[in-house]
Structure 1
């Protein structure tokens, strides 16, 4: 008892009861475990294991052999490791997976019904559905295709009484719901015939060499594009060791043909995009030069027309020989001037590129040709470096994050510095051109002896030659850009393509599920046992009393299965009757121990109504009477009389009539069908029951009973509800406090414990009632209880035939 109570007397958690209660749930555990194992087994046999295939690529820094220091169109910062990181980001990007899914139309599934689920037959389908991408196609709903013969098929669906379906336009990727008139539909079509349903548009064609089997059924199902992309990207992995240029890409799926196509298409799209991006520098350069050529060509044509017109009008076809020396000098000045003009042109091209372009990951050759300023070259390199950094981040970071703003600000600052340097360089060149023009002017003034028409001709020719030189320069640069574009190769090399070489499915140990099933079966039962034990305040076993009180336990009475409370009289050989005989023996031992002679008295009480106090009183009185002793059962529960009904007697007169002086003892005593047993009922309910149980009349009542009977059994009110029973303690030799299994609460014993501790009650014992050993765990009290089959033949058993249903119920009976 000490280890069950804390210092304040409050009951602590009963760990032993918790363990016993948990163990008592073993039948439910077996049932739950059986159900769990069955569910796991069904899941395991339905589990479709996936495959995992891979492909290997390498990233090279392939330089175009036709590149020179003057023709390179790419500023490459970061080397091979930078390219590897860029490729990694591209392979993992959602945009890349969207291109692959779109390229293979993987949002359309071809399925065949298997034993437990629909199997993906991608690559083995004998037909193909060519849908209209610009139309809205139903998603998430299987459409059944059943072949009729070589030329026709039956199309059907069942949308389970749905009034609308989700659809998607795979050209715009827009999703919307469409109402449907028929939730189920069946129609026949011919191969290549256009199917025009509100939510399904396209035609079904036979694949080359495919065999059509009549009666064979398949399914097609459109899936949400975004969900499909997310599914593939989630099962797609890219592995790279250290800074190695070798990359391994893997995909896990239930269909090997789909894995092979997805991986190889992924590499193909990566190669195509990388080469396209590589060629984009040359493409942009060609486009820029073409614009300049169109402008310069127009100016050249105008100058040629002016030259021809002047010669025709003035009939000038040759230059006088005496102007040869001056012309040589002027040509030398013009050459210098041309070089300076080309430098200005170069700066103008660079300025125009800075102002009109958005991507500075590289500078086309015309934009940097002729630029010799070291500050400008250095600033261009920094812009390229920042642009490459920005391009790398764009593959994995949202566009609106602050880092792009910082990079853009740095690029804009460098552009402004370059533009200022360009303006300064052009100003210096302008001063040099002015100086050369002055020299040309002075030289031309020496032509005063040359006819004016000849001088004008030479001026027109000089302008024509200058335009022609500029045009030739652009033509040369355009040829270089075309040559570079034609000779570019991708930096991505497919080392080992994905291939089906008979790989097996991924091995997964499903037996671990049975372990989880065991825990799933046992944990809830343990939790329930803990909660029930923690919050349980009732007495469930006789030995619970040993932890709650120091009052001894006199006996244990089993569950009454008789038609009334006369269990001892009706079934004298039953286990319940034998239990009451054991109580009788214990009482006699108690009387002998205290050297009591003459009439013996015993009082039966309890905590509350319903604990079997009257049942115990009747049967204790019966066992005394059946032993040949004159016994009287007195009903002193004046507020709620009960005992008369079981003996088929009335309650018109009783103890109340005697106590108020209306009747004599002989007049209130009633005979019963039990030999040697008389009963005094409580009689009519009085207004002052407590006052009737004290005083001289009660003394006279007990004295007169002792004069006429060997045993007096007093059936008293519940002690926990009224104080009447305490008034009768002084009249009895022994008191029995009835406790009922699964009914009496533990805290109800607090009052009787207090009375016992203070010595206000004497010779009191507990009588454990309604004991059902089948519902408990291994506690036996009373003759024949707790011995199971060993008690057979000694007690009178029920004649009711046990059915299979009753046996099953008894197994799971709590």
Structure 2
């Protein structure tokens, strides 16, 4: 028997899934209510929500080398291939400087709004007017300026000031200053095109040429802080690039599709122009340098030309002999050659100084302007210039302590050391060439000195002129070459698919999915509620629950008593409850026969706590035994809380207590009832020592006397879960009935009686399941109607006097919400 009980305990389910499902079904009204609330909330959100849109553009980063570039010109540089360019463009697109240019160009810090049902919507270009700001002026920040058109020529401006101090911003230098204003609404009328000159609003309102204005139409103009707007757009633009690909996908989300299109296209335009400017930076620097040299040489050339004409006129020398001309031509060639060497030496000296004293190498002029054609120097200058531009680009968007700067600085330093060595080697070679040229110039000069003094001076002036002319022509040719290269350069950014409004729907316009979410959200609370109540519910809700909690046999199932007292069998002998007690009587008789009990039988009835129907079952079991023709006595031994006397309309002045203390004899405490063959002994006055009385010798005598007079003795005892009195009476009972009540008795209350039964301290113990309601907490039955007293089985229909009393509306509501 012990092993059987242990197995039963181990097989008890931790969570009753079936009970959970049936409890959830009972909350159908709560499901409907929660779903309706969820749908209502989603509907309100949908009509209030401003839908956002996402559009994109696609660009490609190409490696477009200038077709006019040669190793001799060296006016362009390489950024490190397509991969390096892609990373640079991605970094630039995330930089604040780019977005500042875009916002400034589009004036997106200024919004055109229109009042809708729930908010002010940004109508952007849909507004029929534009506000043109006055240069270098301050505009009101973060407060909507209401514009009401009176007619085709006039409009009102109004501002509602809730503070004495407002902020205004100058969108040229981006400075913000506080301005004192008067509290309340400011209103002033203007004509369209009339200058508005207020401390916090400066500009002109103009109408679109193809738009018309309706009278009393209202719009709003609002200026927002420039830096805040830039940060907002910078955070919303998304740049995606598949690794190893030269394709960049730009996308942005906003409430106005027109703004998205303009912003994305302007961003590509700005980054393309910026990239082209950086790409041409080298050649631009070279052009600036050449222009400076041309201006200088042009002055020398003009001065030398004037000197020749003046000298010839003064000295009457217009022609030279053939020998003098030949010598002078040779000397001029040597001096031009010397000038070229000196120009290279000067470039190297300047380059060396620049490398040693500068931290940035983005302004190096091209070596070709000095006639430098050393391949190593050309290549290294291009590389160091490219790295410097890349570093300058990263400085706009990457932290200064990032590791990328350390890598770039190391590469630049390495190239700088190589360049310095190249310069030293090239300089030494040029100095040797310069020495040889000077020797030849000396020989030619000695021949010139043999000519007359006047001719010598004229030849000297002519050589200076020729030298200046040659230098000017060289720089002019270089200038033309640089201009051609610059004008033929194209951006490395190719727009594949510009941003465009193609009618794409809103991101969050999937109303059906939102309503499905509302339905799902409405289902969860009742399910959660049912789960929690089921999980924490430790009460008995069906006979099956009782069977899972104990291996004590179930003797009978009794339905709910609807009468105003406990005499259910006596008052309605044909009711289902009466049949349930008859079934219990039959089961008791079978039990006695099985255990071969003869003569008078004692039945003890107890329960866990008060309120489980112990007295109700005691009275009706006694009644149904008496109705069978057996002499029966009902003894009230619940000395602390007597009850049974009230249902029989008898007094409790004299009872078992009087017998137990020796005041009365058995005849003096026995009272007759209206039920034939049924006597009753009430408990009597409440004693100070009920437990001691129940274990006294008088209790033995009482039971013996009762057995001599009656066939059945029904003992109504106190609950075993509250006091130990009932346990003291177990020795007198031939059968013990333990009453439990549906939706009332807690499962843990059975531990004590289970333990007593497990140890064999209680004999012939059985359960009575009281208050059974097939439509109770879970709404499912187990067929106990016919097996244990006909309950609510089909057999009772037409044969039993069922309670047909209709429930009130309040009772029905209580039944629905009953847990």
Shorter-chain TM-score category? 0.7 to 0.9
Q: What's the counterpart of residue 126 of structure 2?
A: 124
1:274 Cα deviation after fit: 3.8
- Checking the alignment, whether the CA contact within 8 Å between 1:4 and 1:11 is kept in structure 2 is no
Which whole-Å deviations, capped at 9, do the CAs of 1:496-533 have from their partners, x for residues lacking one?
65555666777976544455455444455555544444
Measured at CA, do residues 613 and 262 of structure 1 come closer, stay the same or move farther in structure 2, by a change above 3 Å? same
Measured at CA, do residues 505 and 793 of structure 1 come closer, stay the same or move farther in structure 2, by a change above 3 Å? farther
Structure 1 window deviating more from structure 2 (710-719 vs 33-42): it is 33-42
1:264 Cα deviation after fit: 3.7
Alignment of 1:594-613 (within 5 A): 594=595, 596=597, 598-613=599-614
Q: Distance in 2 between matches of 1:9 and 1:240?
A: 60
1:735 Cα deviation after fit: 1.3
Q: Distance in 2 between matches of 1:798 and 1:164?
A: 79
- Checking the alignment, whether the CA contact within 8 Å between 2:77 and 2:279 is kept in structure 1 is no
Q: What's the counterpart of residue 553 of structure 1?
A: 554
- Checking the alignment, whether the CA contact within 8 Å between 1:18 and 1:529 is kept in structure 2 is no
Q: Distance in 2 between matches of 1:224 and 1:675?
A: 99
Alignment of 1:112-511 (within 5 A): 112-113=114-115, 119-129=121-131, 135=138, 137-139=140-142, 145-152=147-154, 185=185, 187=187, 189-190=189-190, 192=192, 204-220=205-221, 255-292=256-293, 331=332, 333-351=334-352, 354=355, 364-366=365-367, 369-384=370-385, 386-387=387-388, 390=391, 398-434=399-435, 436-437=437-438, 470=471, 473-486=474-487, 488-490=489-491, 498=499, 510-511=511-512
Measured at CA, do residues 218 and 725 of structure 1 come closer, stay the same or move farther in structure 2, by a change above 3 Å? same
- Checking the alignment, whether the CA contact within 8 Å between 1:74 and 1:362 is kept in structure 2 is no
Matched, 1:813 2:814: no
Structure 1 window deviating more from structure 2 (653-662 vs 676-685): it is 676-685
**Residues matched between the structures, number:** 808
Alignment of 1:643-792 (within 5 A): 643=644, 653-669=654-670, 678-772=679-773, 773-779=775-781, 781=784, 785-786=791-792
Which whole-Å deviations, capped at 9, do the CAs of 1:183-204 have from their partners, x for residues lacking one?
x857464455778999877665
Q: Distance in 2 between matches of 1:362 and 1:600?
A: 120
Q: What's the counterpart of residue 101 of structure 2?
A: 99
Q: Distance in 2 between matches of 1:789 and 1:117?
A: 69
Q: Distance in 2 between matches of 1:35 and 1:332?
A: 99
Structure 1 window deviating more from structure 2 (282-291 vs 487-496): it is 487-496
Structure 1 window deviating more from structure 2 (681-690 vs 354-363): it is 354-363
Q: Distance in 2 between matches of 1:93 and 1:295?
A: 41
Q: What's the counterpart of residue 540 of structure 1?
A: 541
1:355 Cα deviation after fit: 5.8
- Checking the alignment, whether the CA contact within 8 Å between 1:75 and 1:362 is kept in structure 2 is no
- Checking the alignment, whether the CA contact within 8 Å between 2:144 and 2:222 is kept in structure 1 is yes
Q: What's the counterpart of residue 802 of structure 1?
A: 808
Please, what TM-score do these two structures have when normalized by structure 2?
0.79
Q: Distance in 2 between matches of 1:228 and 1:78?
A: 34
Q: Distance in 2 between matches of 1:163 and 1:526?
A: 55
- Checking the alignment, whether the CA contact within 8 Å between 1:319 and 1:454 is kept in structure 2 is no
Name structure 2 gaps, 5 residues minimum. none
- Checking the alignment, whether the CA contact within 8 Å between 1:29 and 1:522 is kept in structure 2 is yes
1:766 Cα deviation after fit: 0.9
- Matched position secondary structure for 1:605: strand
Measured at CA, do residues 392 and 287 of structure 1 come closer, stay the same or move farther in structure 2, by a change above 3 Å? closer
Structure 1 window deviating more from structure 2 (533-542 vs 513-522): it is 513-522
- Checking the alignment, whether the CA contact within 8 Å between 1:137 and 1:201 is kept in structure 2 is no
Q: Distance in 1 between matches of 2:452 and 2:76?
A: 53
Structure 1 window deviating more from structure 2 (25-34 vs 341-350): it is 25-34
1:411 Cα deviation after fit: 0.9
Measured at CA, do residues 574 and 244 of structure 1 come closer, stay the same or move farther in structure 2, by a change above 3 Å? same
- Matched position secondary structure for 1:774: coil
- Checking the alignment, whether the CA contact within 8 Å between 2:569 and 2:623 is kept in structure 1 is yes
1:811 Cα deviation after fit: 3.6
Q: Distance in 2 between matches of 1:347 and 1:38?
A: 80
- Checking the alignment, whether the CA contact within 8 Å between 1:600 and 1:710 is kept in structure 2 is yes
- Matched position secondary structure for 2:605: strand
- Matched position secondary structure for 1:704: helix
1:651 Cα deviation after fit: 5.2
1:701 Cα deviation after fit: 0.9
Q: Distance in 1 between matches of 2:655 and 2:741?
A: 28
- Checking the alignment, whether the CA contact within 8 Å between 2:340 and 2:371 is kept in structure 1 is no
